[in-house]
Structure 1
Amino acid sequence: MNDQLYDLESLRFPIGEFQKPDCITQGNLDTWITAIECFPFKIKELTKNLSVNEVNWIYRPNGWKIKQVVHHCADSHINSFVRFKLALTEDKPVIKPYEEHLWAELTDGLDDDLTASLQIIEGVHARWVLLLKSFGEQELKKQFIHPATNKTLCLEEVIGVYAWHCNHHLAHIEQALFYKGQF
């Protein structure tokens, strides 16, 4: 970036890290579900006119290219949707983690064409939001166990995490576009 100073942590977390409220309210849930619902439109709008050169821009030094961010969101949100369904149909299941940084390096994670991942995001989010909007108190309290952290997560919190995840990666794409990938 030509002698410009930047804070690597701010580039990594442009909207900050997820902060769980002490008490999750219906207002929080409504805001989070809306963020998840709007994500397919927002990511499509941000990326629809990008050239092959532009989808290869990175959002920070040693960060992913825009195309990897988009493909990652498809991968991550598929996994999250499945985790929600597991939590709804099993008693505190242990979910399967995955190596997202390695997935981003696979052929499909390096594809310059974003179409398939944008279609996956649109379809997964349509079904996910339908499911989320049907939740009552019982569903919101369902849990799963993440073996990487050995932490039990409640679905109401995970809704917030994924709303944050959507906005986090939209900010990464905006950042790559603002800096024109020049790190």
Structure 2
Amino acid sequence: MEDLVQSYAEGFNRLSVAIEGLSEELLLYKPAENRWCIKKVVIHLCDAEMIALDRMKRIIAEPNPLFFKFDPDAWALRLQYSSLDMSVFLSLFAALRASMVPILRGLSEEDWARTGVHNQNGKLTLQELVAMFVHHLDRHIQQIERNKKAFAEQR
């Protein structure tokens, strides 16, 4: 589990490197009408992280908790991601990750095997859940890189 926790712990640094020095124009650039700009991706990552912490902590503390899917597009629209201050959310993401790392590092093998039930994905262990959110961040960093490339190509 040490490698998994280390990957989780390094997430904020990987995200910071991906967005370091980006102009406001690039942060707001959408490669297509139905795609998100980098600013929305970063705010989404923070909102997803809040959900991740809730799920992880409930798996650790409660017997077989139930989780529900959330609609990221509805959150982005209804919470008006475009008008929000991305730097606040970036700081919150860092704090959320930093708060969870010591908890994860202190878990036993039995804790990692504890489960919760997702209303669409079924039963998930804590290990699977943490891995999902590590990969979730990685996928969005790839999306950020694609946006940066598309922006450079259209110039």
**TM-score, length basis structure 2:** 0.88
Q: CA RMSD in A?
A: 1.9
Structure 2: gaps (5+ residues)? none
Identity %: 21
Alignment of 1:1-183 (within 5 A): 29-58=1-30, 62-111=34-83, 113-147=85-119, 149=120, 151-180=122-151
CA distance in 1, matches of 2:129, 2:145: 24
Single out whichever of 127-136 and 108-117 deviates more from structure 2: 108-117
Over 3 Å counting, the alpha-carbon distance change for 1:156 and 1:58 in structure 2 is: same
Q: Which structure is higher in helix share? A: 2
- Asked whether the equivalents of residues 33 and 132 of structure 1 are also in contact (C-alpha less than 8 Å), the reply is yes
CA distance in 2, matches of 1:57, 1:40: 22
CA distance in 1, matches of 2:31, 2:139: 12
Return structure 1 stretches of 4+ with deviation > 4 angstroms.
Answer: none
Count of residue pairs the alignment pairs up: 153
CA distance in 2, matches of 1:38, 1:175: 21
Deviations 1:55-96 (A, max 9, x none): 112356622111111001000011001111111111101124
Structure 1: gaps (5+ residues)? 1-28
CA distance in 2, matches of 1:111, 1:34: 33
CA distance in 1, matches of 2:121, 2:142: 29
SS in 2 for 1:58: coil
